[in-house]
């Protein structure tokens, strides 16, 4: 708990057995009240590892629903459990759980309702091993998004995020893609709804066991990001209406 607010960490897992224990060990208990893991039909023993670690809430997808579909299950469960501050942490140990207290403090003190762990602020991305083509793509996409969305972030592509309950209740995340572009759709919805976003410098690690998408999937993701940004532009200019910007029922 943080000043009476329930803190929940959600872990979108896919083949995370080799890194889950290390990630879980750094979660700052007892600040965190609950941990929820959703396994998206992994081919390794992620589920068994999670249960061995004592993670009480383990959701298992019998069929792979995708990165976005995984998050939808996690946010539904977090809201059902009464989460006031919900932090998404990848269980592949690419992002450090040691930043969770900072995220909780920012939201818990009412400073910002959304916090992102940015790999781009400072030199953390390249120092942590981000491939150069991904770094350049990140910078170009972010520039395009800032212009089209009319906001200013150092990056829209981090997987380390924290949300207040108010935000998750307000945006229609169920209308989003089940694929990787889900993250960008969420940020577009958050900005369109008028919520402010904070960024915290976040070190990152790229290594063999860390999850990553290949070049082809990265290209598909980039095109999806541009699509979302153009939709946001058309929506805010009143030139079109998209279901994803409707309030959550």
pLDDT along the chain (249 residues), means of 10: 96 96 96 98 97 97 97 98 98 95 98 96 76 86 96 95 98 96 97 97 72 73 95 97 89
User: Exposed/middle/buried for 49, CB within 10 Å: 0-12, 13-18, 19+?
Assistant: buried
DSSP state of 10: E
The domain in which residue 127 lies consists of 7-242
Q: Given the DSSP bridges, would you call strands 161-164 and 85-88 parallel, antiparallel or unpaired?
A: antiparallel
Look at residue 66 and tell me if it is in a domain. yes
What's the pLDDT at 228?
Answer: 97
Please tell me the number of Cα atoms within 13 Å of 171 on its side-chain side.
26
Look at residue 248 and tell me if it is in a domain. no
**H-helix or E-strand containing 148?**
helix 132-149
| Structural domains counted in the chain | 1
Look at residue 247 and tell me if it is in a domain. no
Look at residue 249 and tell me if it is in a domain. no
Q: What is the CATH number of the domain that holds 93?
A: 3.90.550.10
Look at residue 144 and tell me if it is in a domain. yes
Look at residue 148 and tell me if it is in a domain. yes
Look at residue 29 and tell me if it is in a domain. yes
Query: How many C-beta atoms lie closer than 10 Å to residue 163's C-beta?
Result: 29
pTM of the predicted structure, to 2 decimals: 0.93
Look at residue 227 and tell me if it is in a domain. yes
On whether the CB atoms of residues 27 and 103 are closer than 8 A, the answer is no
What's the pLDDT at 212?
Answer: 58
């Amino acid at each position: 708990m943080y000043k009476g607010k329930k803190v929940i960490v959600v872990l979108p897992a896919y083949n995370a057995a080799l890194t889950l224990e290390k990630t879980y060990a750094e979660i700052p208990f007892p600040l965190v009240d609950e941990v929820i893991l959703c396994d998206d039909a992994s081919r390794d023993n992620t589920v068994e590892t999670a249960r061995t670690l004592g993670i009480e809430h383990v959701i298992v997808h019998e069929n792979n629903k995708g990165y976005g579909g995984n998050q939808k299950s996690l946010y539904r469960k977090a809201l059902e459990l009464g989460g006031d501050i919900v932090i998404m942490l990848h269980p592949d140990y690419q992002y450090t759980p040691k930043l969770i207290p900072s995220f909780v403090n920012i939201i818990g003190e009412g400073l910002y309702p959304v916090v992102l762990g940015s790999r781009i602020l400072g030199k953390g991305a390249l120092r942590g091993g981000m491939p150069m083509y991904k770094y350049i793509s990140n910078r170009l996409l972010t520039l395009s998004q800032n212009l089209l969305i009319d906001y200013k972030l150092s990056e829209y592509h981090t997987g380390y995020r924290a949300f207040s309950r108010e935000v998750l209740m307000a945006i229609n995340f169920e209308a989003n893609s089940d694929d990787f572009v889900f993250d960008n759709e969420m940020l577009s919805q958050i900005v369109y709804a008028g919520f402010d976003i904070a960024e915290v410098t976040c070190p990152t690690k790229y290594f063999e066991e860390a999850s990553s998408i290949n070049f082809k999937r990265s290209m598909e993701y980039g095109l999806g990001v541009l699509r979302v940004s153009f939709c946001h532009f058309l929506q805010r200019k009143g030139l079109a209406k998209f279901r994803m910007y409707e309030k959550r029922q």
